[in-house]
Amino acid sequence: MVKNRLTGMNKKTHIVLLVGASGSGKDTLLRAASSHLQGDGSFCFVPRYITRQPDESEKNYYIDQPAFVFLRDRAFFVSHWQAHGNYYGIGRRHLENLQPGGVAVISISRTAITDFEKPGQMVTTILVSVAPEILRSRLEGRRREGSEEIKKRLARSDLPVKARNLVRFDNSSSIDTSVASFVDLLESLRGDS
């Protein structure tokens, strides 16, 4: 079995990276898709480690900053980044021994895409976006950021995404419609494995 030297992953695992502006609905899509596909052993929804308490829409591990730095310095993470004053990481152990032909779905920063695009590794990046007025409304509604931070996040939402295989996903529809389309997209990517 050929393994990726960086992660120990089977190269036949299809890695699906989910990126997009904060507030675009990535966590809602992940939670709903994970619930819908929970009996399907070919899908793995990989949690993140974050140095802020997760909100109700997230299924991530909270750790404080000293613990994060300790783990980072010992190569615990296959990928890590800093955004909005917090540290984020993907644990190496969550990506090892995945089912050949399976799909690993990971929500990451667009700056971390290259950590996964290694030679021979099958990677698809899904860029989740919403109309600007919907994004503003969602950011204001969650009350996590002040008005200046919301302006900065809105400005960053238009930054380009560089990925080897990029799929755009418009999440401006109703939740039910978007979730059904997202699950269909994931299932179609399983067929590409």
Asked if pLDDT for residue 183 goes beyond 60, the answer is yes
- Domain assignment of residue 82, yes or no: no
Contact assessment for residue 161 and residue 113, using Cβ atoms and an 8 Å cutoff: yes
Confirm whether 61 is domain-assigned. no
Least confident of 6-10, 67-71, 113-117, 141-145: 6-10
Q: Is residue 66 assigned to a domain?
A: no
- pLDDT for the residue numbered 162: 92
What is the token pair recorded at 163? 């990925």
Confidence (pTM): 0.84
Read off the tokens for 78: 């296959």
pLDDT class of 143 with cuts at 50, 70, 90: low
Q: Does 178 reside within a domain?
A: yes
Q: Specify if 134 maps to a domain.
A: yes
Structure tokens that stand for 160 in this block: 């380009």
What is the reported pLDDT for 83? Answer: 84
Residue 165 has pLDDT above 90, yes or no: yes
- Angle (nearest 5°) at CA 187 between 55 and 166: 75
Q: What is the CATH number for 168?
A: 3.40.50.300
The string of pLDDT tens digits covering residues 95-141 is 876 777 789 999 999 999 999 998 888 999 999 988 878 777 777 67
Question: In terms of residue numbers, what domain contains 170?
Answer: 14-48+98-190
Rounded to an integer, the average pLDDT of 164-187 is 94
Stretch (H or E) spanning 169: strand 166-170
Instruction: Calculate the average pLDDT of the chain.
Output: 84
| Contact criterion met (CB below 8 Å) for 138 and 23 | yes
Q: Which of 49-53, 96-100, 160-164 is predicted least confidently?
A: 96-100
The span from the CA of 11 to the CA of 24, in Å, is 30
